[in-house]
Amino acid sequence: MENRITGEMTERVKVVDATLRDGGIVNNFYFPAGFAAALYAANLAAGVDIMEFGYKVSKKLFDVTKFGEWKFCDEYSLRAVVGENNTKMKISVMSDVGRVDLKTEVLPKDKSVIDIYRIATYVSQADEASQMINYCHDMGYQTCCNIMAISRESEEDLRAALGKIARTSADVIYIVDSFGSLYPDEMAHLCDMYGEIAYKHGKKLGIHAHNNQQLAFANTIACIDKGVTYLDATVGGMGRGAGNCALEALIGYLRTPRYDINPILQFIREHLNPVKRSGVEWGYDVPYLLTGLNGVHPYAAIDFMKDGREDYERFLAEITKKA
């Protein structure tokens, strides 16, 4: 079969594996021994461009006894897996606005194997996010900005936030469907709107999709068709709640010799399937559909399922304020 992407686009596309970060939300970042090293090796063999190892958050804010190591991404943890990372694949971490002490917990680039800091922000935090982006850039890192929960924002407010972020040192600005509420046509519109603001400042665009309505893959494809080049995915779609665009589906779709699906398939068989069999849960389910349809944070569905409930009609009434 022919490649799905051709010419210049083939060189510009960057596949980003976010399994340890978004998937870590499912299990408090407690992965089996050897999981991260095996995923690193699989991503290298598959040709993945960027591997996000997890969050970089402050131990002053989070109890280290309640989370695995990829909640914090200490330098020694990273180096235990990647060494000096003398490869083409870049190493990424994510920091939420206000959840990392920049001056004490973000090392200068020459002292770290991290290549990219991704700053996660809400529209209302755009000013603080801008400061974080510029700080990380000045420390020597490539930077991305993930503007979350955009489906609940007005276009006016979103444009204002984008304008601020576009004037920072960010290399990439991400379209993030946090609630899995958006559809391909809406994604196409957002690509145009983001591009109108971002491209004139020399920024690239990325897509991070959630699968509440089983549209993470379709929405990612819609963004590729609009020229978005940074593509987030997770192995097996592992991620908070309904999960994300599946890495193996994305690589299969792209059909370019740059990427090889086989190492990912082997990783799923040998490492991800045992995690699922151990009882760790993620992926599409009716409660996630209902939160996605109504633009509600998926934590409501997570709590619903933890309680063992199946009264979907009542849950729908609760989340739409009709109960």
Write the pLDDT tens digit of every residue in 5-19: 776 777 789 999 999
What lies within 8 Å, CB to CB, of 98 at 6+ separation is: 125, 128
pTM of the complete model: 0.95
Three-state DSSP state, 82: helix
Residue 213 is classified by DSSP as: T
If residue 296 lies in a helix (H) or strand (E), which one and from where to where? none
Integer Cα distance of 292 and 210 in angstroms: 9
CB atoms within 10 A of CB 96: 20
pLDDT digits (tens, 9 = 90+) for 62-78: 999 999 999 999 999 99
**For 159-216, how does the pLDDT look when each residue is reduced to its tens digit (9 = 90+)?**
999 999 999 999 999 999 999 999 999 999 999 999 999 999 999 999 999 999 999 9
Neighbouring C-alpha atoms within 13 Å toward the C-beta of 40: 19
Distance CA 286, CA 149 (A): 20
Q: How many residues does the chain have?
A: 323
pLDDT of residue 250: 97
Distances (CA, A) of 14 to 33, 45, 204: 28, 15, 11
Tokens of 49: 């461009």
Are the C-beta atoms of residues 132 and 93 closer than 8 Å to each other? no
Rounded mean pLDDT of 135-149? Answer: 98
The arithmetic mean of pLDDT across residues 29-42, rounded, is 98
Token output for 308: 């063992």
- CA distances to 68, 118, 317 from 65, rounded to whole Å, are 8, 25, 37
Write b or e for each residue in 246-266: b if 16 or more Cβ atoms lie within 10 A of its Cβ, otherwise e.
bbbbbbebbebebbebebbbe
The answer to whether residue 322 scores a pLDDT higher than 60 is no
The C-alpha torsion from 256 through 257 and 260 to 262, rounded to 10°, is: 100
How buried is residue 188: exposed, middle or buried, by Cβ count under 10 Å (0-12/13-18/19+)?
Answer: middle
Contacts of 170 (CB under 8 A, 6+ apart): 119, 133, 137, 143, 144, 145, 203
pLDDT value at residue 8: 73
pLDDT tens for 276-310 read: 999 999 999 999 999 999 999 999 999 999 999 99
CA distances for 51 relative to 13, 109, 112, 231, angstroms: 14, 17, 15, 11
Residue in 255, 254, 176 with CA at minimum distance from that of residue 216: 176
